[in-house]
Structure 1
């Protein structure tokens, strides 16, 4: 990573973000990581809702607004009343010289605030206008409120796939559908910028949580579209296959198997488990026999894994190159040495919370270092700076402050 004085890859790109929560801001934080100037336009007083959503009952408890920090590092924040005439004029002047505008406001709000594509394009024909929605721009559900919990996970049938045979499914992690959808939005923005380079014209790019959920589960949805027959769910002990189950070990840890190429891995697997008797057991010696006697095989494999601790099995499975993983705790996942070795978890020097770490955006470009992660901005922290940069005098800025059109963090 580079310090902020070097010229970064996207250093000549100015982005206006009029968005809240996770999906659109997560796309913009990737742009900021590669050096784009991202100006986050927030409502007065409250700002982005994600500034306070770490306080939701049931989420990990912290004084730090960790969801907001994750998706808003290295951005500039201005607080602006878009409903006022003077506030909208500030926004208009920002748009004139911007390369990208990113929003995930609901469609009716975009119309009401004069933020829809046609209006923005009239202000700046070269702008790439990036829209993220819950349910898409068309159809009878287009105006519904949408979050990843309902648009991405539930409507894609992913929840149907992972719902347990008995009991209830726990909630998916905060933003776990938004972040992959944000990467799609990032890709759309970069594609739009490439199109502008080729045509000298701006364009609108868009995506939705609904579309990204379908894409994430597209292989199983394609099965349905192809007329495939889906099998009924079975309890674990009577699963269709042993190769991708979770297995408890003696120390009450969970081992996740993923032995997809069973023809290749069957013998090494038996050796790793010290169960070479499986190789000659007529119940398990062939693929067809294993399918016929799957409940018995699952019982035998489960009983074997229960005889030793997780570290023992990890060593044995690695020795024989069997695909597997230990189901990690959050502490283990955050302190994973493999993540550190690949700069997936990187240092963050926070002015309020000190030396800590954060999650890096998930790709690298050779010869283009990212900006070192910095603190997410305070609400309106850069209002004076940004307005000064688009030609407002100090007297004009002061008048806007007095009229409650803008807000500056003091």
Structure 2
């Protein structure tokens, strides 16, 4: 498979979810991503779930999903020889990505300035909970942070929940994944600059900042109204109707972001008079009478199945069933868009399925083309690519610098 980033070399020092998701996005688009792991492998290799017939447990689903399309080099960054290998790899790379706490790479003497002195074109990206002092010293800089911390501090949990007093964590790890996507964008912007000018740079994304940017609505709401938004269940603070509604066999979503959709919906519900009723005529009217509006829609949906609601709304009103994973697998859209990718899983007799890339291109399609690597699976291959001889590689392995 070809990708738009074919020929771009990325050195990936990341672990857990945010960093690996960022470099996964680059790998999906054809970049050669070399994952640098400790000699014992990335700790997330031990996270499940595992297939029942997999007795080897080289890695579970967590690692497989976000480390596909990558090469693995096992390297001891604390050893002098390991540091030399890493600097040599970085000196010929286009991009380095890490998500350690601020200062870790500097204490190892392989931080941005050291690498940039060897490779001025290098784009060096860091994803941290509260950013890096190079771009703005946060008072929280030394605190550890994971998805739930970013969701809580960045505002996502504060507007999610059944009522104003019950904030909830959002299911997927958006505190990791959205900053990861922002980092991949920043990396490509910096890489474009480096290609034009020869000047590399440091790219910094704070997970906290990333979730604040995701929750941009609450920033302007507070500025305009002086009030902090709170959880409002499954309805929308600005649009109505726009949320989830009960069906006989589950839940559905219906949205009327324009008044014309409300006109269509009232006709379908057999209540066309509601389109001209002064309580419901415009979106702002419906917001002022939200409980009544929601109740009208709920009354209609609750006597129908999801399939019946879909058939009646057709192409006229924005609608979607609340899907389970099983529903997603069964939806023909997934096959048409090739969103469910099958890959080999070492130790299991049958392939496993992971989510593919949603980014589609006509000339350089990219996508999932290989499983996640075994720890150190490509050490020899990668080291040879930067000039190490087989004898030198054997000596490095004997010293414990690589595996």
Secondary structure of the structure 2 residue equivalent to 1:387: helix
2:257 counterpart residue number: 260
The partner residue of 2:46 within 52, 65, 72 is 52
**Whole-angstrom CA distance in 2 between matches of 1:288 and 1:81:** 61
- In the superposition, the TM-score normalised over structure 1's length comes to 0.86
Kindly tell me the number of residue pairs found equivalent between the two proteins. Answer: 391
Displacement of 1:198: 1.6
Q: 1:117 to 1:288 in 2, by over 3 A?
A: closer
Deviations 1:255-295 (A, max 9, x none): 1221111x212221122223345457676567676556543
Is the 8 Å Cα contact of residues 79 and 379 (structure 1) preserved in structure 2?
yes
What residue in structure 2 maps to residue 397 of structure 1? 393
- Give the corresponding residue for 1:59: none
What is the CA–CA distance in structure 2 between the aligned matches of 1:121 and 1:103, rounded to whole Å? 15
2:83 touches 2:110 (CA, 8 Å); kept in 1? no
Residue 140 of structure 1 pairs with residue 139 of structure 2 = yes
Residues 360 and 227 of structure 1, relative CA distance in 2, 3 Å threshold: same
For residue 14 of structure 1, report the CA deviation from its aligned partner: 1.1
Could you tell me how far 1:170 is from its partner in structure 2? 4.9
Aligned position for 1:337? 332
Deviations 1:184-210 (A, max 9, x none): 111111111111122112221121211
Where does residue 216 of structure 1 map in the other structure?
Answer: 214
Matching of residue 81 in structure 1 with residue 76 in structure 2: yes
Whether the 8 Å contact between 2:94 and 2:121 is mirrored in structure 1 is yes
Separation (CA, whole Å) in 2 of partners of 1:175 and 1:149: 8
Structure 2 residue ranges without an equivalent (≥5): 51-56
Q: Is the 8 A contact 1:108 1:143 kept in 2?
A: no
**Worse-matched range after superposition: 163-172 or 82-91:** 163-172
In the alignment, which of 299, 316, 322 is matched to residue 317 of structure 2? 322
Report if the CA contact (8 A) 2:130-2:207 is conserved: yes
Shift of 1:236: 7.9
Deviations 1:100-127 (A, max 9, x none): 1111111131222223211111222221
Structure-1 residue corresponding to 2:23: 28
Contact kept, 8 Å, 2:279 with 2:285, in 1: the verdict is yes
**Separation in 2 of the partners of 1:228 and 1:334?**
44
Q: State the SS of the aligned residue for 2:326.
A: helix
Per-residue Cα deviation, 1:387-409 (whole angstroms, up to 9, x for no partner): 222222323222222222212xx
Q: 2:122 matched to 1:127?
A: yes
Q: TM-score, normalised by structure 2?
A: 0.87
CA change 1:373–1:293 in 2 (3 A) is same
Equivalence for 1:60: none
Q: Render the CA deviation track for 1:229-262: whole Å, top value 9, x for unaligned.
A: 457766889x9975023211122x111221111x
Deviation at 1:379, TM superposition (A): 0.8
Cα distance in 2 for partners of 1:224, 1:356 equals 45
- Residue 131 of structure 2 contacts residue 206 of structure 2 at CA under 8 Å; is this kept in 1? yes
Q: 1:298 and 1:362 mapped to 2: Cα distance?
A: 33
Structure 1: gaps spanning 5 or more residues:
57-62
What pairs with 1:286-297 in structure 2 (closer than 5 Å)? 290=286, 293-297=289-293
Cross-structure match for 2:302: 306
Deviations 1:204-233 (CA, angstroms, capped at 9, x unpaired): 112121121111111221222345445776
1:347 and 1:373 in contact (8 A); partners too: no
1:145 CA displacement: 0.8
Q: How many angstroms apart in 2 are the aligned matches of 1:10 and 1:113?
A: 30
Which stretch shifts more, 126-135 or 8-17? 8-17
1: CA distance, partners of 2:390 / 2:37: 21
User: Deviations 1:135-192 (Å, cap 9, x if unpaired)?
Assistant: 11221111111112212x2122121111221775554334333222222111111111
